[in-house]
Amino acid sequence: MPGPLRLSVLDQSPVSEGSTGAQALRNTIDLAVLADGLGYHRYWVAEHHGSPSLAGTSPEALIGPIAASTTRLRVGSGGVMLPHYSPRKVAETFSVLGALFPGRIDLGVGRTAGADDETARALQRDRRQTPEDDFPHQLVELLAYLRDDMPPAHRFASLTPLPGLPEGPEPWLLGSSHESASWAAQAGLPYAFADFINPGGAPSAAAYAARFTAQHAGAPQVAVAAFVLCADTDAEAERLASSTRMARAVRRHGPAIRVPTVATALAYLDEYGAPPDHGPLGPRAIVGDPATVRRRLEALAASYGAEEVIVVTITHEHAARRRSYELIAEAFALDTGAVPAKISV
């Protein structure tokens, strides 16, 4: 693999038991400032709706404050769920962000709703019927706006160019399926595969690279997103991971819950048992001490042919999440600046 492995962050703004969504969002800003000082490459914020456990409903609202609070990170969406929105509005929003923070904004887009059916319906402007599944057409239109190359015959070809031009975001396609890999290859986009959702994506990544159509990106770029939890020892990492294991077990049988305390999770798992060894904390969950985490992250990246790993970490205590990212940065000897103290949140 050419060059050192890049490490990045995907933050879903998890809400802990006994805390609030507002605190989770402030924690996101705090963690971004830390990641900036630790030398991570990019910081993406997710879009989820209708979940008590995740406060990140609006990446476009978080990206500006994060970019303004940091200096080195690329900042973006992981991702905007395009079926909810007008491609024009998404393009305008990220054009403004790109102008304000030139060379630092990413626009990762995805196809899924990121919500239950009722919440997805509430997000619709027209609720009379289920919207058409026309994601490939939405993507083409979005890219035409961003690249300022709308075909002359298109009905919107006469629209005023985006306000932030010539600056703009770097578009990415996010996915967890072979279909999304094909779309990314056809559009000539960088591709990020959510291994923590579907831990079988290496063939999709290989197909993307093989079918890539060189357009604006020039060459295929693969990133893989994985659930990672690092602590000073393997045992401590496994203990901290109990919170997410319990949350996943509960989610299999009912609505999502806020991230439970370690004590609550250990008691629950002792009584009811851990969920099957698959999914976010299954074979591709990377839980352990720094040496374990580095070894497994490098193996994961190699299996995907990825130049970059995007780390997703959820713990009950924000301090444990901060510590996990610190240890990973140390394990990979990232180019750290002056690591800031925890900001007042």
Give the list of residues 6+ apart from residue 275 with CB closer than 8 angstroms, or none.
245, 248, 249, 252, 281
Amino acid found at 287 = V
Correct CATH for 6-331 of 3.20.20.30, 3.40.630.30, 3.40.1190.20, 1.10.150.120: 3.20.20.30
Rg (CA), the chain: 20
Q: Which pLDDT value is given to residue 344?
A: 44
Give residue-wise pLDDT tens across range 282-336.
Answer: 567 999 999 999 999 999 999 999 999 999 999 999 999 999 999 999 999 998 8
SS in 3 state form for 124-193?
A: CCCCCCCCCCCHHHHHHHHHHHHHCCCCCCCCCCCCCCCCCCCCCCEEEEEECCHHHHHHHHHHCCCEEE
- Specify burial of residue 227 (Cβ count, 10 A radius: 0-12, 13-18, 19+): buried
Report the run of H or E that residue 74 belongs to, with start and end. strand 74-81
Residue 55 corresponds to which tokens in the numbers above? 């406060």
Task: Count other C-beta atoms under 10 Å from residue 4's C-beta.
Answer: 11
Q: Mean pLDDT of all residues in the chain? A: 91
CA distance 345 to 337: 22
Residue 125 corresponds to which tokens in the numbers above? 């402007």
What's the whole-model pTM score? 0.92
Average pLDDT over residues 38-42: 98
Q: Are 221 and 193 in contact (CB under 8 A)?
A: no
